[in-house]
Structure 1
């Protein structure tokens, strides 16, 4: 390993100009590619692959209500919906929604669409006709006609469905086509979200009518619109980081080097994504900055090494070569670990997370070239005066005072106390993190603030309608030709009744509930007849009267849907409802029929939550296994494996406890933060342990070796953690809640990992050294003689 590093150093620094020219040319080319990168989103890539619920969703997608839909409510600000002007507005909104790009026109439903029927019993039997006749125009909406429409809505059971329970709002619902049936192009969700604003809300919302819009496409659009704010906060974090680096090294040259090299890798990352045919998902828009933070962390270590060598009397080229050789091994190990951390996210069978993992992995891979190779080579071209070297030496001595005090943790007695304290904190964190939530913890869109327009609309729709955007469809698979199986329908009815009693379930809709309603209608509306007929032929006749069965059953009743409309899609709500469905399925089997979970948007979220929960532990085990292997290959010492990994494990569980305390669920947004925390924690550990090994190899005992190691790298570690924490802490003020949550979590994890690295790591290493003294010389990877 030592010879390889030496050969690389000679080769690269002998051709410094070639390396820089290649980097500049590549950066220019990648800039053109990166400029063409676009924000893209898709509903399909949010679906977990090969999951029971998603397989049910895909199998019956054309027979059930699609989970990918948009809901628009025309709500009177004063009074009720039942005025000529409000009904006219509802018709205009219905027409406008129907002709939006991406909308499945045949799925659009409102009071005005011909697929909504009013059924009544006459002397000749059932009569079914559109709720609002096609002959009625807005100009014909006299008070008598409006009263007739209102009567039909009430008698037809559409209160709480297409009209709000307080009579003030009318609903328009439409399913979306993921792929345009004519062009074959994927749906542009951001363009659709803007169209909803420009063609629906802005033209029709006024002093009398409020337009409420909810749906996946609207969430994506709002997040994308908030991306400008994301970039502003990332810019603030970048500026604060640059100023802090300048304060640390007091040289604009050494400030611009780590920041510039990290930006270069960012350009390469964006360019590569475009060349591979990917876009940047709005939910992954912060990932590049997270990778940028890793680059700054390594860049500061390089600057720290270079200034240390300059202060010791080296010229810039010698200092740069020393930095390259001294940090190539620990830096490569740390970045390789971060790379493995993100690659393991590929194990999560959700295309969105795999795309996110690819984005992060590309960025981390480029960091090896830009921050470990390009930075020291570029630094070798700059000259620093003896005056700067003297001031750098004075600053180093001044800052080392604090590290010398912290280094006392390596004294045997203190090491034992800190070890016991850390293990106690670890045990407490494990207990406190138990039961942390997987998934969203607020109604509406978890990515947005509770007071965001979208979330206010979501709350209003949930309060005033029995249906909304949050519903779980349980599919009952039965033998063919089951429309006359009264026992099966009573079973479905019993299941629906049991689920309607669960907290969070607003209403239940199924073929059984419709059959009971129609049976009562056949018997002059007697409530006692609102039951499943015992006679199969009667049941079959009733079911035959259904004019619209999509979303409820198929033609021969071999597929029956039970739609559970929920108050929200909080993780706790979803987990409870899904558990109750499984409990009923186990306790009440029905021969020949199977209850299958699940469709609806809640079914998709339930699958996502379960996949995250199931994937997290194996993913983390793979990450830690990779860390252990890399540490062992580098140091060939099991003590190093424990000393580097145990503090990291403690920090991870402290982070889990923090998430639970702050009501931050594990989601697609927060998962990369925890993975990043592992990567940054490894950075700190490797750089500190690397210097420890060098001093041990030069004859110092472990206590003195740690004092020297912390004096040399501890300041840079503390500085990096504080700098990155201050930068991302500004995210707490973002209009996007998921960015605010990521900011809080990152700030906390940066600091916790730093504290673990400068306290727990030395303590563990000293205790292990005392319990298991070394019998062989210390192995020092790479060139450490500088």
Structure 2
């Protein structure tokens, strides 16, 4: 079952007649003595699961699945989200007049049509939609006779000069400049709150369909004759539009998937020069992807911008394990074995090694299940399904297929030439000879000093690693994407940003009208205004103060919160006319909203700290200050979860890998030798994130876990052979040389193939996919380099001599790859 000799000694019997079909493990006999049945079952599963994936698998994303629902801040928001419609999932659509201002009749006519089209769009919370044409958007002024007010858009608007002047006066009196009207009066905003479920169909909102509908509106109203400016330009921001753009970018995934398959095929073919075996490796890896997608669809899951990357990983991992099986069979055929015999002996030597390696891969995915963000848990689950599928497609199906078709004889002969004495100093063998010297004390010492220096330098740089977003706009997309250009326009022309942080003030019924509650809310607003990064605050207290002064001839002396309850009741009643979202109908919930200059982690941390300190000092049974709502509040909670999960994830993934390695090797020294390269790579990856300006967030959180879980494969394959040889009495130099000959080539091939598979993500228009591709490619390559360089150097000090079998019964689950 286990490889315990040199490659030459492991040659399988040459003829099929000399081979006992009843030999081997029960699993081997079950698979290879029923090869046709295995092929029929796999073919049927491929057809069924492929059809299921084609018919039922969809692309979408959920607002609530992107947020950590177990966090107290998010639970506070979800509990009150129906009373805070303007602070949840909404779109902001800015309609710009590129050749004039907002008072042009043609512009206002286009604005009205856009407003009506959005109002009738499925999934829109129509009662809360705001624009200059919305009846609920009103103006108020103080006169000698008292308050006067009405809708901002005159009821009799007909485009005439007189009515336009009336509109101009209404906007000036409404205080909408900077919020619904651009500071330069060249644009106005339509705020479109969204429902989570379409009441007409009872189904979750399809963000991609919503985004396409908005793009149709944009294209229709921005169309212009050749050589002329369009009548209006639309700038759209909000979670739904962001997801729609992400899904549009995902439609290019098929191109990158095809590119990854071509690159992997080219690498394997360059190594083997065998068309049939290369085609089978690629085909079995694609079968694994089909099975995985079919199972995901059958379980009722959808692909989202995060889990869409899992098929890439499954394909890349499948190619790497398939290459190992193919190489083992190729070498045995080159030594004269029949293709069926070669397939069975390779299955014996590699199944447990491959299974152990896939379990290590699964560890990296399973740890992600502990992160309380549904989209990450879905990614972990779909990836775990993919790893489970690979056990059947690449550890069982591929050897069975190769037992039928074999490999090209010339390729099999070529695979053994590198071991011949006359080629000992040529090609890659020269590099292997240089690596052999790393087991010597001088070179081992130099290697470890260099590795320690790089690790220390990387650690110093990694201390600058930030949690959360580091760029303005939507960091998920490229800086020059339409969404980020739209966001830049909105930020530049409006005083109130889209980054809102709201503290929910909860009281008993009618409690938000009490003097003490309003005073405390006003103090909270003032406290937040002093925090760097807060532009301004909005709360019921602002409106009550203005209305109180307006009721007293506009005197600035009355810009205060009166102690008289009747005055407060009147102020709140008037405020609800123009700003119904300042408190709920029972006046038991009111938000204090802070508009932030950005959503960087430092800004959010300062606001959270100030809000939490105030809530702890001023909260009581009568009034509670609950964090947090608004886009920035949700992101702050996400950052808190990510910061905690980052440390937990690293500890757990390394603990799991250490345990798995100890079970495999039964030697604490071997565990250190196996895990040390992973630690170096993890530290250097964090330093790379700092250098590239990539923060730790939902998109990058899985990278380290995946890199560690998959990266341990290299050590498993190399050390298993090395320890086996040492337990047979070989010296360290001899054992490591055999490990390089036996597994070194394909360990390098695997590292390059994995890196090439994920490096294609760097071409994605979705920035977080590109970031993940760059980081994973870096980890796969450096884990491979670290394994072949650090394992011999560390072994010199920790595993120097022959390892007696009594020290550990871990077999050399070696690969012949």
TM-score range, shorter chain: over 0.9
Is 1:39 paired with 2:59?
Answer: yes
Q: Distance in 2 between matches of 1:29 and 1:488?
A: 62
1:247 corresponds, among 270, 276, 286, to: 270
Counterpart in 2 of 1:20?
39
Counterpart in 2 of 1:171?
189
Contact 2:98–2:231 (CA under 8 A) maintained in structure 1: yes
Is 1:202 paired with 2:220?
Answer: yes
Q: Distance in 1 between matches of 2:412 and 2:719?
A: 26
Q: Distance in 2 between matches of 1:429 and 1:58?
A: 41
Q: Deviations over 1:215-269 (max 9, x none)?
A: 1111111111112322212211210110111000000112112211111110000
The 5 Å alignment of 1:715-730 reads 715-730=745-760
Contact 1:416–1:767 (CA under 8 A) maintained in structure 2: no
Is 1:472 paired with 2:491?
Answer: no
CA shift at 1:727, angstroms? 4.4
1:593 corresponds, among 617, 623, 628, to: 623
Q: Distance in 2 between matches of 1:316 and 1:349?
A: 49
Q: Distance in 1 between matches of 2:243 and 2:207?
A: 7
The 5 Å alignment of 1:217-366 reads 217-366=240-389
CA shift at 1:112, angstroms? 0.9
Counterpart in 2 of 1:96?
117
Counterpart in 2 of 1:659?
689
Q: Deviations over 1:270-293 (max 9, x none)?
A: 110111111111332122102211
**Does the residue aligned with 2:95 lie in a helix, a strand or coil?**
strand
CA shift at 1:457, angstroms? 0.6
Counterpart in 2 of 1:757?
787
Counterpart in 2 of 1:189?
207
Contact 1:448–1:736 (CA under 8 A) maintained in structure 2: yes
Q: Distance in 1 between matches of 2:813 and 2:453?
A: 38
Q: Deviations over 1:370-420 (max 9, x none)?
A: 111111121111244654433222245543331221232122332233234
CA shift at 1:743, angstroms? 2.1
Q: Distance in 1 between matches of 2:433 and 2:481?
A: 49
Counterpart in 2 of 1:500?
529
2:647 corresponds, among 589, 592, 617, to: 617
**Does the residue aligned with 2:291 lie in a helix, a strand or coil?**
helix
CA shift at 1:48, angstroms? 1.2
Is 1:648 paired with 2:678?
Answer: yes
**Does the residue aligned with 1:286 lie in a helix, a strand or coil?**
helix
Is 1:128 paired with 2:146?
Answer: no
Contact 1:484–1:537 (CA under 8 A) maintained in structure 2: no
Contact 2:312–2:758 (CA under 8 A) maintained in structure 1: no
Q: Deviations over 1:622-670 (max 9, x none)?
A: 2222222222222222222222122212212221121122111223322
Contact 1:320–1:377 (CA under 8 A) maintained in structure 2: yes
Contact 2:95–2:187 (CA under 8 A) maintained in structure 1: yes
TM-score w.r.t. length of structure 2: 0.91
TM-score w.r.t. length of structure 1: 0.94
**Does the residue aligned with 2:270 lie in a helix, a strand or coil?**
helix
Given the superposition, is the C-alpha separation of residues 491 and 392 from structure 1 closer, same or farther in structure 2, using an over 3 Å criterion? same
Q: Distance in 1 between matches of 2:394 and 2:296?
A: 20
**Does the residue aligned with 1:551 lie in a helix, a strand or coil?**
helix
Q: Distance in 1 between matches of 2:694 and 2:814?
A: 43
**Does the residue aligned with 1:380 lie in a helix, a strand or coil?**
helix
Given the superposition, is the C-alpha separation of residues 526 and 168 from structure 1 closer, same or farther in structure 2, using an over 3 Å criterion? farther
User: Which shifted more, 497-506 or 446-455?
Assistant: 497-506
Contact 1:160–1:467 (CA under 8 A) maintained in structure 2: yes
Q: Distance in 1 between matches of 2:531 and 2:798?
A: 54
Q: Distance in 1 between matches of 2:112 and 2:774?
A: 46
Q: Distance in 2 between matches of 1:486 and 1:785?
A: 76
Q: Deviations over 1:125-165 (max 9, x none)?
A: 323322224x324xx12122112112111212111111011
CA shift at 1:556, angstroms? 5.3
Given the superposition, is the C-alpha separation of residues 586 and 318 from structure 1 closer, same or farther in structure 2, using an over 3 Å criterion? same
Given the superposition, is the C-alpha separation of residues 261 and 638 from structure 1 closer, same or farther in structure 2, using an over 3 Å criterion? same
Q: Distance in 1 between matches of 2:253 and 2:547?
A: 53
User: Which shifted more, 393-402 or 48-57?
Assistant: 393-402
Contact 1:153–1:159 (CA under 8 A) maintained in structure 2: yes
Contact 1:697–1:779 (CA under 8 A) maintained in structure 2: no
Q: Deviations over 1:531-587 (max 9, x none)?
A: 323444323322221215543223454322111122332333323322332244456
Q: Distance in 2 between matches of 1:399 and 1:779?
A: 33
Is 1:82 paired with 2:103?
Answer: yes
1:449 corresponds, among 454, 478, 488, to: 478
Q: Distance in 2 between matches of 1:254 and 1:53?
A: 54
User: Which shifted more, 119-128 or 81-90?
Assistant: 119-128
**Does the residue aligned with 1:136 lie in a helix, a strand or coil?**
coil
2:710 corresponds, among 672, 680, 685, to: 680
1:553 corresponds, among 573, 576, 583, to: 583
Contact 1:298–1:683 (CA under 8 A) maintained in structure 2: no
Q: Distance in 2 between matches of 1:771 and 1:302?
A: 30
Q: Deviations over 1:71-104 (max 9, x none)?
A: 1111111232111111111111111110011111
2:740 corresponds, among 702, 710, 715, to: 710
Is 1:566 paired with 2:589?
Answer: no
User: Which shifted more, 308-317 or 31-40?
Assistant: 308-317
Q: Distance in 2 between matches of 1:487 and 1:784?
A: 74
Given the superposition, is the C-alpha separation of residues 361 and 378 from structure 1 closer, same or farther in structure 2, using an over 3 Å criterion? same
Q: Distance in 2 between matches of 1:737 and 1:272?
A: 28
Counterpart in 2 of 1:148?
166
Is 1:111 paired with 2:132?
Answer: yes
Is 1:393 paired with 2:421?
Answer: no
Is 1:69 paired with 2:108?
Answer: no
Q: Distance in 2 between matches of 1:274 and 1:638?
A: 42
Q: Distance in 2 between matches of 1:4 and 1:196?
A: 66
Contact 2:353–2:813 (CA under 8 A) maintained in structure 1: no
Contact 2:320–2:753 (CA under 8 A) maintained in structure 1: no
Q: Distance in 1 between matches of 2:273 and 2:556?
A: 84
Contact 2:112–2:133 (CA under 8 A) maintained in structure 1: yes
Q: Distance in 2 between matches of 1:532 and 1:642?
A: 67
Is 1:767 paired with 2:783?
Answer: no
Is 1:160 paired with 2:178?
Answer: yes
Q: Distance in 2 between matches of 1:173 and 1:426?
A: 50
Given the superposition, is the C-alpha separation of residues 82 and 386 from structure 1 closer, same or farther in structure 2, using an over 3 Å criterion? closer
Q: Distance in 2 between matches of 1:375 and 1:773?
A: 34
Is 1:55 paired with 2:93?
Answer: no
Q: Deviations over 1:356-383 (max 9, x none)?
A: 1111110011111111111112111124
Given the superposition, is the C-alpha separation of residues 766 and 212 from structure 1 closer, same or farther in structure 2, using an over 3 Å criterion? same
Contact 2:353–2:815 (CA under 8 A) maintained in structure 1: no
Q: Distance in 2 between matches of 1:10 and 1:662?
A: 52
**Does the residue aligned with 1:126 lie in a helix, a strand or coil?**
strand
CA RMSD of aligned residues (A): 2.4
**Runs (5+) with no aligned partner, structure 2:** 3-21, 225-229
CA shift at 1:680, angstroms? 2.3
Counterpart in 1 of 2:456?
427
Q: Distance in 2 between matches of 1:760 and 1:682?
A: 13
